[in-house]
Amino acid sequence: QVINELVREHAGERSARYLGAVEEVLVESANPKNAREVCGRTRGNRVTFFAGSIDELKGKLVRVQITQTHPFYLRAARIRGEEPW
Protein backbone atom coordinates (compact mmCIF):
# COMPACT_ATOMS: atom_id res chain seq x y z
CA GLN A 1 0.00 0.00 0.00
CA VAL A 2 2.62 2.51 1.06
CA ILE A 3 4.84 1.74 -1.92
CA ASN A 4 1.92 2.13 -4.35
CA GLU A 5 1.05 5.51 -2.85
CA LEU A 6 4.67 6.67 -3.17
CA VAL A 7 4.85 5.50 -6.79
CA ARG A 8 1.61 7.36 -7.61
CA GLU A 9 2.87 10.50 -5.84
CA HIS A 10 6.21 10.51 -7.67
CA ALA A 11 4.58 9.71 -11.03
CA GLY A 12 2.17 12.61 -10.49
CA GLU A 13 5.08 14.96 -9.77
CA ARG A 14 6.89 13.86 -12.93
CA SER A 15 3.75 14.26 -15.04
CA ALA A 16 3.01 17.73 -13.62
CA ARG A 17 6.14 19.02 -15.36
CA TYR A 18 4.42 18.52 -18.73
CA LEU A 19 1.46 20.84 -18.06
CA GLY A 20 1.28 23.45 -20.82
CA ALA A 21 4.14 21.91 -22.79
CA VAL A 22 3.97 21.30 -26.53
CA GLU A 23 4.85 17.69 -27.37
CA GLU A 24 4.96 15.45 -30.43
CA VAL A 25 2.81 12.35 -30.02
CA LEU A 26 3.01 9.21 -32.15
CA VAL A 27 -0.61 8.04 -32.45
CA GLU A 28 -0.99 4.31 -31.78
CA SER A 29 -4.67 3.51 -31.22
CA ALA A 30 -8.13 4.74 -30.35
CA ASN A 31 -8.86 5.41 -26.69
CA PRO A 32 -10.69 2.24 -25.60
CA LYS A 33 -12.86 4.29 -23.20
CA ASN A 34 -13.73 7.11 -25.63
CA ALA A 35 -14.02 6.46 -29.37
CA ARG A 36 -13.65 10.20 -30.12
CA GLU A 37 -10.12 10.21 -28.72
CA VAL A 38 -6.83 8.71 -29.82
CA CYS A 39 -3.97 7.43 -27.71
CA GLY A 40 -0.29 7.82 -28.39
CA ARG A 41 3.09 8.35 -26.77
CA THR A 42 5.34 11.36 -26.47
CA ARG A 43 9.04 11.15 -27.28
CA GLY A 44 9.50 10.62 -23.54
CA ASN A 45 7.15 7.58 -23.71
CA ARG A 46 4.27 9.24 -21.81
CA VAL A 47 0.84 7.89 -22.74
CA THR A 48 -1.24 10.80 -24.05
CA PHE A 49 -4.93 11.06 -24.99
CA PHE A 50 -6.47 13.74 -27.21
CA ALA A 51 -9.46 14.24 -29.50
CA GLY A 52 -9.04 12.87 -32.99
CA SER A 53 -9.90 10.20 -35.52
CA ILE A 54 -7.84 7.02 -35.43
CA ASP A 55 -8.51 6.54 -39.16
CA GLU A 56 -6.85 9.89 -39.91
CA LEU A 57 -4.05 9.88 -37.33
CA LYS A 58 -2.82 6.31 -36.71
CA GLY A 59 0.94 6.10 -37.19
CA LYS A 60 1.37 9.86 -37.50
CA LEU A 61 3.23 12.36 -35.36
CA VAL A 62 0.91 15.06 -34.04
CA ARG A 63 1.85 18.21 -32.11
CA VAL A 64 -0.28 18.70 -29.01
CA GLN A 65 -0.33 20.94 -25.96
CA ILE A 66 -0.67 19.17 -22.62
CA THR A 67 -3.84 20.33 -20.85
CA GLN A 68 -4.11 17.89 -17.93
CA THR A 69 -1.66 15.68 -16.12
CA HIS A 70 -2.33 12.45 -14.24
CA PRO A 71 0.17 10.12 -12.58
CA PHE A 72 0.28 7.63 -15.45
CA TYR A 73 -1.03 9.52 -18.49
CA LEU A 74 -1.51 12.96 -20.01
CA ARG A 75 -4.43 14.70 -21.71
CA ALA A 76 -3.82 17.14 -24.53
CA ALA A 77 -5.30 19.34 -27.22
CA ARG A 78 -4.15 19.05 -30.80
CA ILE A 79 -2.45 22.15 -32.14
CA ARG A 80 -4.61 23.20 -35.08
CA GLY A 81 -3.17 24.59 -38.25
CA GLU A 82 -0.44 21.95 -38.42
CA GLU A 83 -0.76 18.83 -40.48
CA PRO A 84 0.21 15.51 -38.85
CA TRP A 85 3.29 13.86 -40.34
pLDDT for 4 equals 87
Residue 75 CB-half CA count within 13 A? 7
What are the CB-based long-range contacts (under 8 Å, 24+) for 32-41?
none
* pTM score of the predicted model: 0.87
Type of residue numbered 61: L
Using DSSP's 3-state secondary structure scheme, residue 33 falls into: coil
pLDDT for 84 equals 65
Are 76 and 25 in contact, with CB atoms under 8 Å apart? Answer: yes
User: In this predicted model, what pLDDT tens digit does every residue of 34-51 receive, in sequence order?
Assistant: 999 999 999 999 999 999
Average pLDDT over the chain, rounded to whole? 92
